[in-house]
Amino acid sequence: MPSRKKTSMFASAFCTCVGSFVVICVVLATPQWVSSEVRFSRTGTTVTVSLTYGLFSGTCEQFVDAGLQVSKTTFQVSEALSSSSSSSRSLVVATIVVLVLALLSSLLSAGFTCTNTVSNPYQTFLGPIGVYTWNSLCGVLTLIAMILFPVNVEGNSLSQELAHSCSSSLQTHLGSKHNYGYSYWIMLLILFLNIASVIIIYFYDHARYSKKKEQERPIENAPKDVILF
């Protein structure tokens, strides 16, 4: 059975790993990644398309000239991009894949910390090294997702392409504004939770290493009578 200290430390790390898993699920499920206002010219008028979307679905509204609003509609991102630029769709798929891999990494990390909470596994990788590995991988994958999505929005004009799914009569693009929502920014919480898990296990591992070194004192530190004996 693991010591009380080990149980408490790994239990704390387990809670942070589970928290990371839950947050990634929220990120994937919610459509509040970005809100965009995209302006187009149309014969004699200016149309502003307001979009709010995530990786799977979103909503859009049209405002003509002085604020005349057209009905709000819902769209699926994959369907809206089916006839659009393949690079935008590829980056959306890549972001989803990266987050799913991060989800699996956080799940494995939770499994490793749970195992160490209730037992003392013999394999080295099932201990702190495994926790470091899976938490680091989850953090890196989350960071990649945070980079890919803005690149798609800003570089590939993702909002502009999705706006065309709301109206087929849009002509010249005049400008765009983007505000990233909570579904995007809470990925920073995932990074924080992964770092917290690593720090907790590091303190436990460092304390265990220091205690082990104290128990293995060099012979020159032993009393002289013991050495003579």
Whether 6 and 116 have beta carbons less than 8 Å apart is answered as: yes
Tell me which amino acid residue 41 is.
Answer: S
**For residue 47, what is the enclosing H or E element?**
strand 45-53
pTM: 0.84
Q: Where are the domains of the chain?
A: 4-205
Q: Tell me the two tokens of residue 109.
A: 């990390």
Helices and strands counted in the chain (H then E) = 8, 5
Residue 40: name the closest of 171, 158, 178, 162 by CA: 171
Which pLDDT tens digit goes with each residue over 43-85? Answer: 777 888 889 999 999 998 888 775 566 668 888 888 888 765 6
What distance in Å separates the CA atoms of residue 154 and residue 159, rounded to the nearest whole number? 9
Query: Which residue, among 34, 32, 48, has the nearest Cα to 179 in the 3D structure?
Result: 34
Contact 12, 200 (CB under 8 A): yes
Taking only the tens place, the pLDDT of each residue in 92-129 is 999 999 999 999 999 999 998 888 888 877 567 778 88
Query: Which class in CATH covers the domain with range 4-205?
Result: mainly alpha
